[in-house]
Amino acid sequence: MTPEQPTAPLTPVQGRLLGVLRRNPEPLEFPEAMVEALKAEATEAVAQLSARLGGVQLKVFKSFLSKVHGCEVRHLAPDDFEWSPATTAGTVAHKAIELSLNWPGEPAPSEAVDEAIARLVERGDNRALYLHGLSAGEHAELRSRAVDRTTKFIQDFPPLPATAQPVLESSVRWQPRGTIEFSGKVDLVVGRPSGRESRLLVVDFKSGSRSPMHRDDLRFYALLLTLRNEVPPRKLVTYYLDYADHDVEDVTEGVLRAALVRTLEGIERHIELTVEGREPMKRVGFGCRWCPVLDDCTEGAAHLRTLSGDD
């Protein structure tokens, strides 16, 4: 990324992050043979795993991999997700940030959030129905959360010029022969392709606390982009809105291969559990507090008591 000189001076937070995001003067190119070998390995492995699925279609997302590599009992539990001001605020903020990057002039965060909510309601999906039915109090809570996140992005993230071609909520898919599709929606991709040079910068926004799983999420995106484009991205950034801080990892062959191994192992675990009848393993962790089967899980309850100091 080679941003144009902004009209306003950068804040210390913006300047620090911009120094991390800039491309090195020396172009980065991955060996073509390495990329081809990685794609061939992935293609062959997915074909073999598809055969074990027996014709069942499977979409592999970052959340799918997080669940299957966590507690397998929770992975198999029915999805109990419900929209709420807390769970919807991130979606609204992402839409507002997208609008703010393409807005003529500089919008107020609240203005971008109101427009984002209006556009999401127009989609007519389950989330739109939830937004349409909000009470005045719920709407105020949702709007407050989304404005907070949007404001933090606008004030703390370095300005992105149009020449850097920033794209928010970029959908990426890859499906070789078989019934398995890799799919993701990347929060922010910055950079213009140029031959085989690795120029893309991948950014994931987080409003909560840090987690080691966040690197795994971005590594999956790097793998997905590599398989689709046949050119790896150059850098992965998790940006924590609440902290105005970041975690950065350069893309390497090791990063891509680690992501492929984790992805294939996750698919294989899912097949063992859902097709081949292996008993699921319980794995306690921080996520136990949100588990839909916690009421019937003595291990998870004991783990949470330990975390709270009750034991």
pLDDT at 235: 97
Does a structural domain hold residue 74?
Answer: no
3-state secondary structure of 245: strand
9: pLDDT strictly greater than 50: yes
Confidence of residue 310 (pLDDT cuts 50, 70, 90): low
Task: Mark whether 148 and 227 lie in a shared domain.
Answer: no
pLDDT tens, position by position, 66-91: 999 999 999 998 877 778 888 899 88
In the numeric block, which tokens belong to residue 65? 């991999």
pLDDT at 79: 76
Q: CA end-to-end span of the chain, whole Å?
A: 51
CA dist., res. 121 & res. 152, Å (int):
24
Q: What is the DSSP string of 33-60?
A: HHHHHHHHHHHHHHHHHHHHHTT--EEE
Task: Mark whether 42 and 177 lie in a shared domain.
Answer: yes
Q: What angle do CA 251, 256, 260 make, to 5 degrees?
A: 155
Task: Mark whether 251 and 185 lie in a shared domain.
Answer: yes
Does a structural domain hold residue 172?
Answer: yes
In the numeric block, which tokens belong to residue 250? 């350069």
4: pLDDT strictly greater than 80: no
CA dist., res. 259 & res. 217, Å (int):
9
pLDDT at 57: 96
pLDDT tens, position by position, 142-169: 999 999 999 999 999 998 888 888 888 8
Confidence of residue 24 (pLDDT cuts 50, 70, 90): confident
Q: Give the global pTM.
A: 0.89
Tell me which of 159 and 175 has the higher pLDDT: 175
Task: Mark whether 179 and 261 lie in a shared domain.
Answer: yes
Task: Mark whether 42 and 105 lie in a shared domain.
Answer: no
Domain boundary among 126, 156, 186: 156
- Enumerate the β-bridge partners of residue 247: 238
Task: Mark whether 173 and 190 lie in a shared domain.
Answer: yes
Does a structural domain hold residue 290?
Answer: no
Does a structural domain hold residue 4?
Answer: no
Output DSSP code: residue 197. B
Identify the domain containing residue 196 by its residue range.
Answer: 12-17+27-62+165-265
Does a structural domain hold residue 304?
Answer: no
Does a structural domain hold residue 223?
Answer: yes
Angstrom CA distances, 311 to 132, 138, 162, 302, 307, stand at 44, 37, 55, 8, 8
Task: Mark whether 256 and 184 lie in a shared domain.
Answer: yes
pLDDT tens, position by position, 127-137: 899 998 999 99
pLDDT at 311: 57
1: pLDDT strictly greater than 80: no
Confidence of residue 101 (pLDDT cuts 50, 70, 90): confident
Residue 173 host element (H or E): strand 167-174
Task: Mark whether 170 and 151 lie in a shared domain.
Answer: no
pLDDT tens, position by position, 28-62: 999 999 999 999 999 999 999 999 999 999 999 99
Task: Mark whether 258 and 124 lie in a shared domain.
Answer: no
Mean pLDDT calculated for residue range 274-285: 92
Domain boundary among 95, 123, 156: 156
Domain boundary among 107, 128, 156: 156
Task: Mark whether 95 and 240 lie in a shared domain.
Answer: no
Task: Mark whether 139 and 195 lie in a shared domain.
Answer: no
Q: Which of 27, 24, 34, 22 is nearest to 255 (CA)?
A: 34
Task: Mark whether 111 and 130 lie in a shared domain.
Answer: yes
Tell me which of 299 and 89 has the higher pLDDT: 89
* Dihedral sign computed on CA atoms, order 223, 76, 208, 95: positive
Does a structural domain hold residue 2?
Answer: no
When divided into structural domains, the chain yields a total of 2
Does a structural domain hold residue 274?
Answer: no
